[in-house]
Amino acid sequence: MTLLFAASTAPLDEHQVLLVLIQVALLVGLARALGGLAGRIGQPPVVGELVAGIILGPSVFGTLFPGAYGWLFGSGYNTVDAVVFGLAWIGVILLLLALGYETDLAIIGRFKRAAIGVSAGSFLVPLAIFTTLAFFVPDEFVGDSGEILFALFFALALSVSALPVVAKILADLGFLRRDFGQITLAAGMTMDAVGWLLLAALSGVVLQGSLDLGSLSVSFGGLIVFLVVSATLGRWLLDWLFRMALRGGSSVTAAVTVMVVAGLVGGAITQALQLEAILGAFIVGILLGVTRHQLPHARETLESMTISVFAPIFFAYSGLRIDFTSLEGSAVWWMVGIVVLAIFAKLAGTWIGARFGGLDTRQGVVLGAGLSALGAMGIVVAIIGLNLGVLAEAGFTVLVLTAVITSIVAPQLLKASVRGWEIPEEERRRLDEESLREQSLILRSRRILVPTRGGENSAYAARLVAAAFPSAEVTVLVVEGTAPTLTGRLLRRRVRPADPSLALDALETVDHRIVKRRATDPSQAIADESALGYDLLVIGASEADSDETGVFSTVVDRIMAKVTLPVVIVRTPADAPSELPQRLLVPVSTELSTRAAEELAYAVARSTDGRVVALHVVNRPSGQGVMLETAMVSEAKRAAAELVAEAADLGAKLGVMVEPIIRVAPNAVDEILDMAQSGSFDVLVLGASTRPLTDRPFLGHGTSYVIEHAPIPVVIVGLPTGNAHFNI
């Protein structure tokens, strides 16, 4: 019996299917186990994953258990190996897709001169050294195609850094977001592209006997076209696909499907250009990082799936063909010398390129250490060289061993070269801010939705967004209401049209766009748009009409009931000033929502150079500790002191001076209102979690009372309680 195919057409028989399952289980299981062990002893997991392949290969498993090794890797090996090889390359494609998210084009743009210099030096110097050395290696390394072609294949395999391995090392060691990490990625991507072009050209020379300039120009020109189309039409298409996938509501599975399919298509395009699939996947990953409509959880799901299953297959498979037993006599010493020289050539070449690129010696050494991993690229060149007859078996083994050993040594060199290196102040501030934003509740928001019809509330809300989120992408959504009846639709020209000009003017300093919709239910239109991968919804809320219940108008209540992302609601009095607030009051407690309110208040204060008061009210009934200091009140005050100290510490990290105030009062709401009415503050920022109350969301009695009676603008930062929707 076969699986889904007739016996005559089955690509795998049942025994081969068994072999595939066992091989994949061993590769994933042992790679993950050794990767975890490597992490515990301070090494990047990729080292353990590469070692896993060596252990499962002929050097260890094949030597200790030749019978079991022959059964697992011998019978039907070619077909089974092709399947596992395919899974390994799916793994590296997904890895480069995920790592593309971490590539910051703004950082690379700042160091473009350095990136160009580093990539040139890191590639050309080793290429020159090993092209010369190739004419002196033992004859047993050289295949049947002649010394010149051997020299070029030999030098190429030892000159091009392995982008997947380099990127994984940087990620494992936590260096990916460092300036040198981004330069390393840019240089690695450039070398990869050049390396695949040269490999295609050399392969053509071997097969056809001459250099095929036409094929090479198609590859190079096709890559340029692919980059241009990807950055324009490709980005628009990805936005549209995400929008279609998410239209029915937030769906992680739909978003992951779009990401994976896009990565595979990008990989297929560059593969068709005779480059390599990983290059296209990496470019698509960079685009995915800047698309407007996406879900953070989708990226996390992709990374988890890749790191836990697919990437370990690739790295373990890379070490699977290592056979130390095939080297004899002087070949062993040649291999040791080539490994040492490969690392030295990378360090020297990168240092020279870095100096030409305006970097100092220390930066050049660090970049050279990061780029010294030859990894996948060296292995692929060696495999192709062996298949074409350019390399003999001994030469192939030396190149594969060098690729894997340099990939294991590279993270050790990188850790050693970075040790004791003081991070420049500007870079440290950027890293600290990125770390703080990544751990924040709302400051991590990159895509913000601001609905408006032109009122002062939404204009004030837009000013706060521009102040607190200067790097965000803001979408101004204008929803024109359409009457549900035919008569109403015919008379819609008489309805006052929305005018978003005030909100747009307030957002002129940030990246923004305008989207217009027409709907009979504006709240549903806003909820539908918010489901398209936004991180934060900011609403300028009008007060409830006389015939409505609740604090805000029914439209706002309906929006709050339908969305499952953080919401900022802004309510301003009729005589509210148009300028940004300088004096902010934020009550703090142990609730997460108040932490989110602090983040917003501090971000606004930092942009306006304002001051913030963090208020905590110890709520004690009258006559039970307000005037009389008791042990219970003292304990409450100690807890309050810790709470406001944490608030002040968070403000300091965000560059804002925070004045902590503790009050003991019988009613916290009255105390907050008293301070809001004192004339000392321009805005009150409250945290609140929306929760159901009969058929509408509810912010809490105290919050609602403050909103109704505060004489200054009130900003409510609401965090959803779960993903449940309320029925309206």
Say whether pLDDT at 195 is over 60: yes
Q: List, as one string, the DSSP characters of 275-301.
A: S-HHHHHHHHHHHHTT-SS--HHHHHH
> Across residues 650-663, what is the average pLDDT?
86
> Across residues 350-359, what is the average pLDDT?
89
CA distances (Å), origin 241, targets 473, 533, 672, 676 = 18, 12, 47, 47
Q: Do 392 and 450 sit in the same domain of this protein?
A: no
Handedness of CA 12, 13, 15, 21 (dihedral sign): positive
Give the pairing of strands 683-693 and 696-698.
Answer: antiparallel
CA distances (Å), origin 129, targets 91, 342, 451, 497 = 33, 9, 62, 71
Tokens 């989207």 appear where? 515
Task: Identify the domain containing residue 581 by its residue range.
Answer: 438-604+682-720
> Across residues 482-501, what is the average pLDDT?
57
Instruction: For residue 668, tell me if it sits in a domain.
Output: no
Q: 406 vs 144, which has greater pLDDT?
A: 406
Q: Do 227 and 252 sit in the same domain of this protein?
A: yes
Say whether pLDDT at 639 is over 90: no
The burial of 494, by beta-carbon neighbours within 10 Å (0-12 exposed, 13-18 middle, 19 or more buried), is given as exposed
Taking Cα atoms as reference points, which of 510, 415, 499, 520 lies closest to residue 469?
510
Report pLDDT digits (tens) over 531-552: 887 889 998 876 444 444 444 5
Instruction: For residue 195, tell me if it sits in a domain.
Output: yes
pLDDT at 176: 82
How much helix, strand and coil, in percent to the nearest 5, is found in the chain? 60, 10, 25
What CATH number is attached to the domain comprising 391? 1.20.1530.20
Tokens describing residue 365: 């050494």
Instruction: For residue 636, tell me if it sits in a domain.
Output: no
Q: What are phi and psi for residue 659, nearest 5 degrees?
A: -95, 115
Beta bridge partners of residue 449, listed in sequence order: 475, 537
C-alpha radius of gyration, the chain, whole number: 31
Handedness of CA 212, 214, 215, 220 (dihedral sign): positive
Domain stops at, among 396, 421, 446: 421
Give the pairing of strands 658-665 and 714-720.
Answer: unpaired
The burial of 232, by beta-carbon neighbours within 10 Å (0-12 exposed, 13-18 middle, 19 or more buried), is given as exposed
Beta bridge partners of residue 620, listed in sequence order: none
**Least confident segment among 442-456, 468-482, 495-509, 653-667:** 495-509
Q: Do 416 and 468 sit in the same domain of this protein?
A: no
Q: List, as one string, the DSSP characters of 480-498.
A: EE--SSHHHHHTGGGSPPP
**One-letter amino acid of 344:** F
Q: Do 360 and 492 sit in the same domain of this protein?
A: no
Instruction: For residue 572, tell me if it sits in a domain.
Output: yes
Question: Long-range contact list for 51-54, CB < 8 A, 24+ apart?
Answer: 51/319, 51/408, 52/27, 52/312, 52/315, 52/316, 52/319, 53/27, 53/315, 53/316, 53/317, 53/318, 53/319, 53/320, 53/322, 53/404, 54/319, 54/320, 54/322, 54/404
Say whether pLDDT at 307 is over 60: yes
Say whether pLDDT at 481 is over 80: no
Q: What are phi and psi for residue 106, nearest 5 degrees?
A: -65, -40
pLDDT at 131: 92
The Cα–Cα gap between 107 and 105 comes to 5
Instruction: For residue 88, tell me if it sits in a domain.
Output: yes
Tokens 């390994």 appear where? 88
Which residues neighbour 21 within 8 Å (Cβ) at sequence distance 6 or greater? Answer: none
Q: Alpha helices of 325-441 — where are they, by DSSP H?
A: 330-356, 361-370, 375-387, 393-418, 425-439
Q: Angle at the Cα of 670 (from 665 to 676), degrees rounded to 5?
A: 115
Q: How far is C-alpha 1 from the chain's CA centre?
A: 45
Q: Do 50 and 84 sit in the same domain of this protein?
A: yes
Give the pairing of strands 567-571 and 714-720.
Answer: antiparallel
State which H helix or E strand residue 450 sits in: strand 447-451
Q: Residue 574 — pLDDT band, cuts 50, 70, 90? A: confident
Number of domains in the chain: 2
Q: Do 460 and 352 sit in the same domain of this protein?
A: no
The burial of 670, by beta-carbon neighbours within 10 Å (0-12 exposed, 13-18 middle, 19 or more buried), is given as middle
Tokens describing residue 401: 């061993």
Q: Do 471 and 401 sit in the same domain of this protein?
A: no
Say whether pLDDT at 72 is over 90: no
Report pLDDT digits (tens) over 717-727: 888 764 433 22
Centre a 10 Å sphere on the Cβ of residue 66 and count the other Cβ atoms it contains. Answer: 12
**Least confident segment among 95-104, 178-187, 211-220, 288-297:** 211-220
Q: Residue 345 — pLDDT band, cuts 50, 70, 90? A: very high
Instruction: For residue 667, tell me if it sits in a domain.
Output: no
What CATH number is attached to the domain comprising 482? 3.40.50.620
At 158 the three-state DSSP class reads: coil
Domain stops at, among 366, 387, 421: 421
State which H helix or E strand residue 240 sits in: helix 235-246
**Helices and strands in the chain: count of H runs, count of E runs:** 30, 11
Q: What is the DSSP letter of 374?
A: -
The burial of 142, by beta-carbon neighbours within 10 Å (0-12 exposed, 13-18 middle, 19 or more buried), is given as buried
> Across residues 65-73, what is the average pLDDT?
88
Say whether pLDDT at 42 is over 80: no
**Least confident segment among 236-240, 304-308, 438-442, 624-628:** 624-628
At 209 the three-state DSSP class reads: coil
> Across residues 140-151, what is the average pLDDT?
83
Domain stops at, among 421, 455, 486: 421
pLDDT at 125: 93
pLDDT at 91: 86
> Across residues 564-570, what is the average pLDDT?
86
pLDDT at 630: 55
Instruction: For residue 672, tell me if it sits in a domain.
Output: no
First-to-last CA distance in the chain?
56
Report pLDDT digits (tens) over 358-409: 888 888 899 999 888 887 677 778 877 877 788 888 888 888 888 888 888 8
Instruction: For residue 327, tell me if it sits in a domain.
Output: yes
pLDDT at 337: 92
State which H helix or E strand residue 568 sits in: strand 567-571
Contact status, residue 143 vs residue 390, Cβ threshold 8 Å: yes
> Across residues 150-161, what is the average pLDDT?
88
pLDDT at 6: 38
Contact status, residue 584 vs residue 614, Cβ threshold 8 Å: no
Q: Do 131 and 233 sit in the same domain of this protein?
A: yes
Share above pLDDT 70 across residues of the chain, in percent, rounded to a whole number: 86
Q: Do 337 and 282 sit in the same domain of this protein?
A: yes
State which H helix or E strand residue 587 sits in: strand 583-587
pLDDT at 724: 36
Q: Whole-number mean pLDDT of the chain?
A: 80
The burial of 289, by beta-carbon neighbours within 10 Å (0-12 exposed, 13-18 middle, 19 or more buried), is given as middle
Q: Do 405 and 455 sit in the same domain of this protein?
A: no
Taking Cα atoms as reference points, which of 479, 515, 475 lies closest to residue 495?
479
Q: Do 234 and 318 sit in the same domain of this protein?
A: yes
The Cα–Cα gap between 717 and 43 comes to 42
Q: Do 81 and 38 sit in the same domain of this protein?
A: yes
> Across residues 209-219, what is the average pLDDT?
69
Q: Residue 627 — pLDDT band, cuts 50, 70, 90? A: very low
